[in-house]
Structure 1
Amino acid sequence: MRALALSLALLALTACEAQPEGEPVARARIDGQPMANAPSQAPSATPTPTPTPTLASARESACRSIIFEDTPLTHCLAVPSRHSIAMELGPQGRPYRSLSSFAAASDPATIAFAMNAGMYDEEGLPIGYFVRDAERLKTLNTADGIGNFHMKPNGVFYGTDGEWVVRSTDSFLANVTERPQFGTQSGPMLVIDGAIHPEISRDGPSRLVRNAVGVDDTGRAHFVISNAPISFGKLARFYKDELEVKNALFLDGNVSLLWNPATDRLDTGAPIGPIVVVKKKAS
């Protein structure tokens, strides 16, 4: 019931991010199903030919703008039947350092959306576990330290063949024996087995533009980026209470960026490191 209520609430909210000039604001259920009140088309006497399988429309957005506790968010949904997920860094091991550079090297018709995803060093290289195309470029980082990454438990977002998972680093170390097709390590975990990270207060003083990922019980990956500064606590509550996601991982803050080709949104900012790419499958 909560999921249904969320879907209905999302429909009623005004979109926050700018739409291309001359195009209407998109209205759609967040689960991708047709709206219940959508007008039906008049029956045609001429049979409709079966369309040739192609990539999903470049204008079909997987992202929706919503408001949660007065904070604007963009919520992007990846569904295994419609999308694949991969990690990117850059050609020949040289990081792109921006979504603009990645977009210039990519075919936007094949991309549902992309975000920066995972902590990195001054050169843009990951400081934690990182797997691209089943090749491990960085081993699991279990070291102690300062900063968000070391606010334990931290965690890993990974997957193979449409099975996507968020686990704490300790759980990943204890349970994952096969190398996944993709993986990125970040921290802290926002939600762990249905509970908010014990060191995250309800609404702490740190307010930044932040992004995160969580996987629900049906296997869908929920990517969220705030469109205004947000606390860790509020972002964690959105995952736990509204999306009912049991495990969610903070990806980055202050440099959080999104590329959504369907709405021509291409964020720019400080240099970034690892990039998570959600691609469209042929339909």
Structure 2
Amino acid sequence: MIRVLLSTAALCLLAHDAGAVECEPVTFQDTRYTVCEVDAATEALELFLYDEGGAPLGQFSEVDRKLAARQQKLVFAMNAGMYHDNRAPVGHYVEDGQEIMRVIDTAGPGNFGLLPNGVFCLREDRADVFETLAFLQAQPECRDATQSGPMLVIDGALHPRFLEDGTSEFIRNGVGTSSDGRRVVFAISDEPVNFHSFGLLFRDHLDLPNALYFDGKVSRLYAPALGRSDFGFNLGPIVGVVTPAE
């Protein structure tokens, strides 16, 4: 589990609202992060992109509005992959079994094309980060999936292109998963960080064999028990934990 504890009151509030969701401030190598851990076997993780009329949701509040019609609510969320100006996903995207965008397996411009990239796949009682070529070989049946890049950690190794002294530093967010698919850990930096340091957080501090970068600059977190409901540019794909509304 995450190694730095929140105040008892805040942690209990999260436990009451979201079962196995725990969000905590973490300091690693003198950099501050917020880390949220989800048990995929007990929590309802979902991806969100469009509303009932096909318009991009864009904000956490709009996801909550959509859920209200299902008598549900959002208790945790984060942006979950890169998108075009119209907020359509850059890479593979599946929501509730429907494929919206195919897998992109070729190199390209920007961070998404910095191969290897990967796919975050949600299945019954588990979630996994796959390197894209491994994903194509395995052909898992994902209920929800989002492709992003670059990979941060690949079978325990950092992405080969990361430089320890890299000068590109931004607020960044991503996700890592355990080998059994139960432990899903989302992290967002609370100050600018480079790829190498962000990858080390997942590999060395959170002890996760695979991790995927979601985005930078636009990175945002919804964790109401921490008083976080980040607002900014409209988002593309969003990942969240859903519970019944009270």
Could you say whether these structures have the same fold, taking a TM-score greater than 0.5 normalized by the shorter chain as the test?
yes
The answer for the alignment partner of 2:64 in structure 1 is: 103
Using a 3 Å threshold, how does the CA distance of structure 1 residues 61 and 243 change in structure 2: closer, same or farther? Answer: closer
Q: Give deviations 1:52-82, integer Å, cap 9, x for gaps.
A: xxxx436996211111112111101110243
The answer for the alignment partner of 2:33 in structure 1 is: 73
Q: CA deviation at 1:157?
A: 0.3
Equivalent residues of 2:19, 2:43 under 8 A apart: no
Using a 3 Å threshold, how does the CA distance of structure 1 residues 150 and 118 change in structure 2: closer, same or farther? Answer: same
Letter in 2 for 1:80: A
The answer for the alignment partner of 2:146 in structure 1 is: 184
The answer for the alignment partner of 2:91 in structure 1 is: 128
| Separation of aligned partners in 1, 2:22 and 2:216 | 22
What is the DSSP-based 3-state SS (H/G/I as helix, E as strand, rest coil) of the residue aligned with 2:112?
A: helix
Q: CA deviation at 1:121?
A: 0.5
Q: CA deviation at 1:263?
A: 2.9
- Percent identity at matched positions? 36
Equivalent residues of 1:62, 1:112 under 8 A apart: no
Q: Give deviations 1:116-158, integer Å, cap 9, x for gaps.
A: 1011111001011000001111110123211000000000000
Query: How many residues align structurally?
Result: 240
Using a 3 Å threshold, how does the CA distance of structure 1 residues 248 and 173 change in structure 2: closer, same or farther? Answer: same
The answer for the alignment partner of 2:47 in structure 1 is: 87
Structure-1-length-normalised TM-score: 0.77
Structure-2-length-normalised TM-score: 0.88
Equivalent residues of 2:21, 2:39 under 8 A apart: no
Runs of 4+ in 1 over 6 A off after TM superposition: none
Equivalent residues of 2:59, 2:234 under 8 A apart: yes
Letter in 2 for 1:103: D
Using a 3 Å threshold, how does the CA distance of structure 1 residues 266 and 104 change in structure 2: closer, same or farther? Answer: farther
Q: CA deviation at 1:231?
A: 1.0
Q: How does 1:1-283 map to 2 (within 5 A)?
A: 7=3, 10-11=4-5, 26=10, 56-57=16-17, 62-91=22-51, 92-107=53-68, 110-176=73-139, 178-218=140-180, 219-280=182-243
* Consecutive unaligned residues in structure 2, runs of 5 or more: none
Q: Give deviations 1:175-196, integer Å, cap 9, x for gaps.
A: 11x5310000000000001000
Using a 3 Å threshold, how does the CA distance of structure 1 residues 242 and 121 change in structure 2: closer, same or farther? Answer: same
Letter in 2 for 1:96: L
Letter in 1 for 2:173: N
Using a 3 Å threshold, how does the CA distance of structure 1 residues 109 and 93 change in structure 2: closer, same or farther? Answer: closer
Equivalent residues of 1:95, 1:273 under 8 A apart: yes
What is the DSSP-based 3-state SS (H/G/I as helix, E as strand, rest coil) of the residue aligned with 2:56?
A: coil
Bigger strand share: 2
What is the DSSP-based 3-state SS (H/G/I as helix, E as strand, rest coil) of the residue aligned with 2:164?
A: coil
Using a 3 Å threshold, how does the CA distance of structure 1 residues 93 and 265 change in structure 2: closer, same or farther? Answer: same
Q: Give deviations 1:211-237, integer Å, cap 9, x for gaps.
A: 000101342100001111111111100
What is the DSSP-based 3-state SS (H/G/I as helix, E as strand, rest coil) of the residue aligned with 2:119?
A: strand
| Separation of aligned partners in 2, 1:173 and 1:74 | 32
Larger Rg: 1
Task: Kindly report the root-mean-square deviation, in angstroms, between the aligned alpha carbons of the 2 structures.
Answer: 2.5
